[in-house]
């Protein structure tokens, strides 16, 4: 039997080895490809993975000509995962889509939360879908923001190329829109100019950023506007300890009425060194309120210690500035959270921001009228504003005039917190451009050309560990901080109201109207405020 079997083996050859074939699908999810299983390609996660309790890593992004290499940790982030570009001609490739998604999920919410503005959450995104010009500008901003986060790396240079390409595309589209006489040309130009301004701020080009913002605002105010409503009233403001304390106390007393719950002071300002850490992110508006009002107690306590000569140098005031910046970041991160986005529109957030701005003014006033050893600056003349021979009188009167106008502006725009019939607008989709009024104080070792109290106070942070700590924690929020100063310079150079200092401009792009507030001094030292509602 062995011979026939051997002959049969030789004739037929050795038995063929069978190889188990795996079902390969090029378009399957990443998990199924690794496991070499057939994928049913359900979106966004395949049923084969989810039905067995596995985590589906999604689908490979269509590679762009830029060949962007994303870190694995980012690929697993649902907020940034890009399944594939949508079936639309809005995006020419995957890299454009990626940068737009980055703007939608990261850049817009970051800036929106800092300014508490709905225009970056909803209005701008809708404008991107309606107008190619705005979309190109948003893609450019998303790309430059991603490059900003990556720092110095090969991948950062890739995004730099994308950002520059989209920037010039946006400029070309904007030029074509303006030439075509688009009925919404002014609004499109305003939104696109804001985005291009942010692009330049990320690049560190302040002059170009101002030019973009000025261009958008100038075209908007050149529309044939009609004044629908005007209010004028005179106000005399004498900034001092008592006036500022009365104002902040008024805000504190209003807080329980708006929130419906009493304020809790978290720790005593009289205990030396009792500074609790600012949370990374607030869990509620009530927590944000308690923290900021507690900080206010400490700031006022520092003023008292400064007057008593117990504080040497301004390190305590600079620490207060850094903590207010940390509060701003924690509040902005809360505003970006699901809980913050779901809260109904109300005056509670506006009260917190007004109180924060008032505290910046309190700190700046301490620094303006004291020398580092704590001694108060006293003018030599009874009426320092009339003196032209003593330097101390001129410095004192200039600083007090500028700070008084700041104080008057803060009081003006917070009227609605105390009067329900005030015309200050809380509606969504509004752009608030406030320039402040009066000359810059230029306090501290740095020269600050902004007249906003927050930006002036921020510039007082000393070089070194404190500043590094603040800006490292703030991340993109220093871009938002810088943007506030850029807006101010753009509003001033646009010269919408001749020969009158700017206070506040609110543009409602959908309603096609603006609320403008400005003031001028009268011969008796008072301020005459004018508020106009303009439709165009």
What contacts 24+ positions apart, CB below 8 Å, involve 112-115? 112/335, 112/336, 113/331, 113/332, 113/333, 113/334, 113/335, 113/336, 113/340, 114/328, 114/332, 114/477, 114/480, 114/481, 115/432, 115/480, 115/484
452 or 379: which carries more pLDDT confidence? Answer: 379
Q: How confident is the model at residue 33 (pLDDT cuts 50, 70, 90)?
A: confident
Q: Is 273 left (phi over 0), alpha (psi -120 to 50) or beta?
A: left
Task: Summarize the confidence of residues 273-285 as an average pLDDT.
Answer: 85
The domain ranges of the chain are: 88-223, 238-422+438-493
Q: How confident is the model at residue 79 (pLDDT cuts 50, 70, 90)?
A: very low
- For the beta carbon of residue 412, count every other beta carbon within 10 angstroms: 20
pLDDT of residue 502: 66
Question: What percent of the chain has pLDDT above 70?
Answer: 76
Question: What percent of the chain has pLDDT above 90?
Answer: 16
- C-alpha to C-alpha distance for 339 and 331, rounded to whole angstroms: 12
pLDDT of residue 138: 94
> What HEC string does 313-352 produce?
CCHHHHHHHHHHHHHHHHHHHHHHCHHHHHCCCCCHHHHH
pLDDT of residue 440: 55
Of 517, 536, 534, the C-alpha closest to 227 is 534
432 or 300: which carries more pLDDT confidence? Answer: 300
pLDDT of residue 489: 76
Q: Would you say residue 77 has pLDDT above 50?
A: no
Alpha-helical regions (H) of 369-507 = 391-413, 453-459, 465-474, 477-494
Task: Summarize the confidence of residues 309-325 as an average pLDDT.
Answer: 86
pLDDT in tens, 176-190: 888 888 888 888 888
Q: Which residues are CB-neighbours of 169 under 8 A, at least 6 positions away? A: 136, 140
Task: Summarize the confidence of residues 211-224 as an average pLDDT.
Answer: 84
pLDDT of residue 255: 93
Of 435, 434, 413, 425, the C-alpha closest to 510 is 425
Compute φ and ψ for 186, nearest 5 degrees. -65, -40
pLDDT of residue 11: 42
pLDDT of residue 28: 78
357, 328 in Cβ contact below 8 A? no
10 or 473: which carries more pLDDT confidence? Answer: 473
- C-alpha to C-alpha distance for 503 and 506, rounded to whole angstroms: 10
pLDDT of residue 458: 77
**CA 460 vs CA 63, 302, 404, 428, 477: distances in Å:** 47, 17, 20, 34, 17
Q: Which residues are CB-neighbours of 18 under 8 A, at least 6 positions away? A: none
Q: Would you say residue 337 has pLDDT above 60?
A: yes
Q: How confident is the model at residue 97 (pLDDT cuts 50, 70, 90)?
A: confident
- What radius of gyration, in Å, describes the C-alpha atoms of the chain? 29
Owner of token pair 């106390």: 249
- For the beta carbon of residue 395, count every other beta carbon within 10 angstroms: 16
Q: Would you say residue 428 has pLDDT above 90?
A: no
Task: Summarize the confidence of residues 195-206 as an average pLDDT.
Answer: 90
Q: How confident is the model at residue 193 (pLDDT cuts 50, 70, 90)?
A: very high
Please tell me which of 96-100, 250-254, 366-370, 441-445 the model is most confident about, judged by mean pLDDT: 250-254
Q: Torsion angle, CA of 321/438/399/461, rounded to 10 degrees? A: 20
Of 95, 102, 221, 223, the C-alpha closest to 169 is 95
pLDDT in tens, 100-127: 989 988 898 888 887 777 787 778 888 8
- For the beta carbon of residue 355, count every other beta carbon within 10 angstroms: 23
- C-alpha to C-alpha distance for 296 and 415, rounded to whole angstroms: 20
Task: Summarize the confidence of residues 471-479 as an average pLDDT.
Answer: 74
- C-alpha to C-alpha distance for 480 and 202, rounded to whole angstroms: 10
Q: How confident is the model at residue 66 (pLDDT cuts 50, 70, 90)?
A: very low
Q: Would you say residue 96 has pLDDT above 60?
A: yes
Q: Would you say residue 65 has pLDDT above 50?
A: no
* Average pLDDT over all residues of the chain: 77
């Amino acid at each position: 039997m062995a011979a026939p079997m051997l002959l049969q083996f030789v004739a037929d050859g050795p038995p063929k080895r069978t190889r188990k074939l795996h079902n390969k699908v090029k378009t399957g999810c990443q998990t199924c490809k690794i496991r070499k299983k057939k994928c049913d390609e359900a979106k966004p996660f395949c049923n084969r993975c989810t039905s067995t309790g596995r985590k589906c890593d999604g689908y490979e992004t269509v590679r762009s000509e830029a060949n962007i290499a994303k870190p694995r940790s980012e690929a697993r982030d649902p907020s940034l995962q890009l399944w594939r570009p949508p079936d639309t001609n809005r995006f020419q490739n995957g890299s454009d889509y990626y940068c737009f998604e980055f703007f939608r999920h990261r850049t817009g919410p970051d800036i929106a939360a800092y300014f508490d503005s709905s225009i970056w959450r909803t209005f701008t995104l809708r404008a991107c879908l309606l107008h190619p010009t705005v979309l190109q500008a948003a893609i450019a901003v998303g790309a430059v923001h991603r490059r900003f986060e990556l720092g110095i790396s090969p991948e950062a240079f890739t995004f730099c190329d994308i950002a520059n390409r989209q920037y010039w595309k946006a400029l070309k589209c904007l030029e074509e829109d303006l030439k075509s006489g688009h009925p919404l040309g002014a609004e499109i130009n305003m939104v696109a100019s804001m985005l291009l301004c942010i692009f330049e701020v990320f690049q560190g080009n302040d002059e170009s950023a101002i030019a973009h913002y000025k261009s958008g605002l100038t075209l908007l105010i050149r529309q044939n506007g009609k004044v629908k409503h005007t209010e004028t009233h005179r106000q005399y403001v004498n900034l001092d300890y008592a006036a500022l304390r009365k104002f902040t106390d008024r805000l504190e007393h209003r807080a329980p009425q708006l929130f419906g719950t009493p304020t809790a002071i978290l720790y005593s300002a009289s205990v030396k060194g009792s500074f609790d850490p600012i949370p990374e992110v607030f869990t509620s508006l009530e927590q944000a309120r308690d923290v900021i009002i507690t900080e206010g107690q400490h700031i006022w306590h520092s003023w008292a210690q400064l007057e008593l000569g117990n504080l040497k140098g301004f390190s305590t005031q600079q620490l207060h500035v850094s903590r207010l910046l940390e509060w701003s970041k924690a509040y902005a991160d809360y505003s970006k959270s699901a809980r913050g986005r779901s809260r109904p529109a109300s005056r509670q957030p506006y009260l917190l921001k007004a109180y924060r701005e008032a505290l910046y003014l309190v700190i700046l006033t301490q620094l303006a009228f004291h020398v580092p050893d704590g001694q108060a600056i006293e003018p030599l003349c009874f009426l320092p504003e009339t003196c032209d021979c003593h330097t101390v009188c001129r410095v004192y009167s200039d600083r007090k005039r500028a700070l008084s106008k700041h104080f008057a502006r803060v009081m003006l725009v917070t009227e609605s917190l105390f009067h329900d019939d005030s015309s200050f607008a809380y509606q969504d989709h509004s752009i608030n451009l406030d320039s402040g009024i009066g000359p810059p104080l230029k306090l501290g070792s740095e020269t600050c050309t902004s007249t906003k109290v927050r930006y002036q106070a921020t510039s007082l942070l000393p070089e070194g560990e404190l500043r590094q700590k603040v800006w490292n924690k703030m991340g993109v929020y220093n871009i938002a901080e810088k943007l506030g100063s850029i807006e101010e310079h753009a509003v001033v150079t646009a010269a919408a109201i001749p020969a009158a200092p700017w206070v506040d401009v609110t543009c409602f792009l959908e309603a096609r109207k603006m609320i403008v507030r400005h003031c001028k001094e009268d011969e008796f030292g008072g301020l005459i405020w004018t508020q106009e509602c303009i439709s165009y």
